[in-house]
Amino acid sequence: MDTMGWLLIPGIVAILLILYDGQRRVRKVQLREKECAGAPSEVLTPSSSPAVINRVEDAPIPASRPSSDAAAWHQQRHGPVFDGPLHTGSFIGPSMHVAGHIEATQPLTVAGRIEGEITLHDHGVAILAGGEAGPIVRARQLVVDGRLNGAVQTTDSAIFHAAAHFEGELRAGRLRCVEGATLSGQFSIG
């Protein structure tokens, strides 16, 4: 073999590795989408069926990040949270305190504090680590990594991660709870 042949072999190997990595990433995304749709799986993301949850260590979103970067950062760290577009809605930052009634037609992510009623009939609420909400929450889906107190009603699912603290009354279609979460109160599931 001449010099050109020897240079061609590592080039072909590199291309094959790139193709393999691309296929692996596509399979990973397809698996997450399938789990997000409710298909059972052995290794689960925060948005899939109850059992073991595979996730990266929690870390709060820095206050300096704009909401679009925060949503992308949260999705990268925790995987999909809601069915449909992730966090295309409102973001309550860590330095914000909202008192009153919130009614929205888009998802809501809370890294700050909300005192009052939250109503999102067709969308989800995510309460990040360091975030607080209550006393009334009505949403299609709920993901909690912070504090939640009061009456909570979800038409689809409620997910409580390891750093979550909940006290109150919960009505949900499905409940997912990671070891380490603190929940106390009355629960109606199903």
What is d(CA 128, CA 105) in angstroms, rounded to the nearest whole number? 20
- The set of residues, in sequence order, having a beta carbon less than 8 Å from that of 100 and lying 6+ positions away, is 115, 116
HSE, CB side, 13 Å, CA atoms: give it for residue 128.
26
So what's the pLDDT on residue 63? 41
Digit-coded pLDDT (tens) for 16-39: 888 888 888 888 877 777 765 554
- The set of residues, in sequence order, having a beta carbon less than 8 Å from that of 90 and lying 6+ positions away, is 67, 104, 106, 107, 108, 109
Would you call 77 helix, strand, or coil by DSSP? helix
So what's the pLDDT on residue 54? 35
Would you call 7 helix, strand, or coil by DSSP? helix
Q: Is the entire prediction scored with pTM above 0.95?
A: no
Does pLDDT of 57 surpass 70?
A: no
Sign, Cα dihedral of 75, 77, 81, 83: positive
Average pLDDT over residues 83-100: 76
Contact 147, 129 (CB under 8 A): no
Model confidence at 15, pLDDT cuts 50, 70, 90, reads confident
**Average pLDDT score, the chain:** 77
Digit-coded pLDDT (tens) for 101-119: 999 888 999 999 999 999 9
Would you call 136 helix, strand, or coil by DSSP? strand
Does pLDDT of 87 surpass 90?
A: no
Model confidence at 9, pLDDT cuts 50, 70, 90, reads confident
Residue that the structure tokens 């992510």 belong to: 109
So what's the pLDDT on residue 71? 53
- The set of residues, in sequence order, having a beta carbon less than 8 Å from that of 119 and lying 6+ positions away, is 101, 102, 103, 104, 138, 139
Model confidence at 44, pLDDT cuts 50, 70, 90, reads very low
| Count of CB atoms situated within 10 Å of the CB of 121 | 11
| Count of CB atoms situated within 10 Å of the CB of 126 | 28
Radius of gyration of the chain (CA): 20
Would you call 169 helix, strand, or coil by DSSP? strand
Q: Give the tokens for residue 82.
A: 């809601």
